[in-house]
Amino acid sequence: MSGWSIADMPDQRGRRIVVTGANSGLGEQTARALGRAGADVVLACRNVEKAQRVADEIGANATVAALDLADLGSVRAFADGFEGADVLVNNAGVMALPLGRTADGFEMQIGTNFLGHFALTGLILDRIGDRVVTLSSLAHNVARLDIDDLNWERRKYNRWVAYGDSKIADLMMALELADRLRQAGSSTVSLAAHPGYAATELQTRTESPIDWVMKLGNMTPLAQSASDGALPTLYAATAPDAANGTFYGPGSLGGMRGAPAVAGYRSVADDPAVRGRLWATAEELTGVSYGV
């Protein structure tokens, strides 16, 4: 894995890969790289017009499908028309927004980043032939996950903690799914990835003065490009030796930049009791139960 780059990515011809939120940022760069490698790429996005412009630039091997992860009705509609793929990349997300609610009443960040992807994965898992890759973040380290109040109905809202909550929940989902797939003897695997500090549009949509701070940060040497930030995702999605239940991220500067490497994470994500409670709560909230 040392020094892994896009040049090391295997030929993806004959493989179909779904990337959520592929109309911009990390998702766009992931989709473009996979398309260049020959994959049939499905850009599953809320903004289908923007996604179509990206798909047109990728070429005939890219298609667009409507998917709004903040609306379980949209998630179910996508799943109903889904014909199968080799890989699902759970990439889409929102970050540090003011308190808002999804169409189903979930807090917007936990609802979009975690519950939407939890429902999507559960609904189409039987049609994913190879692997599921779910994006987490270094921000999982600031989480104060309260499984009894995932939707911030009792706590005083903190946009950054809420974002961290959604990202540690994504990581727990990926790790728990990996265990369940292993125990079921499935050939499908589950992995997680994070981009380190990658300069994307996501950091400038908090609708607060922090947008300007993030814009300045994105111009420093600390930040890497979105294409470099996509490398851990691409490794997890394509490398033959990417292992079930492994978390990948940049290997330098404390995980903020560099080539993909195995990433560390908070020990709570390995607590089976906590993961089990989160899983059961997600099933209850979304109405989606997994077959593993």
Considering 163, 197, 248, 290, which one is annotated as catalytic? Answer: 163
Q: In the structure encoding, which two tokens stand for residue 234, read together?
A: 């691409």
| 197 counts as catalytic | no
Asked if 62 and 54 touch (Cβ cutoff 8 Å), the reply is yes
Centre a 10 Å sphere on the Cβ of residue 93 and count the other Cβ atoms it contains.
25
Q: Which residue has the tokens 């997680």?
A: 192
Asked if 252 and 224 touch (Cβ cutoff 8 Å), the reply is no
Q: In the structure encoding, which two tokens stand for residue 141, read together?
A: 């380290």
In angstroms, how far is the first alpha carbon of the chain from the final one?
30
Q: What are the two backbone dihedrals, phi and then psi, of residue 115, each rounded to the nearest 5 degrees?
A: -65, -40
Centre a 10 Å sphere on the Cβ of residue 56 and count the other Cβ atoms it contains.
11
Residues with a known catalytic role: 163
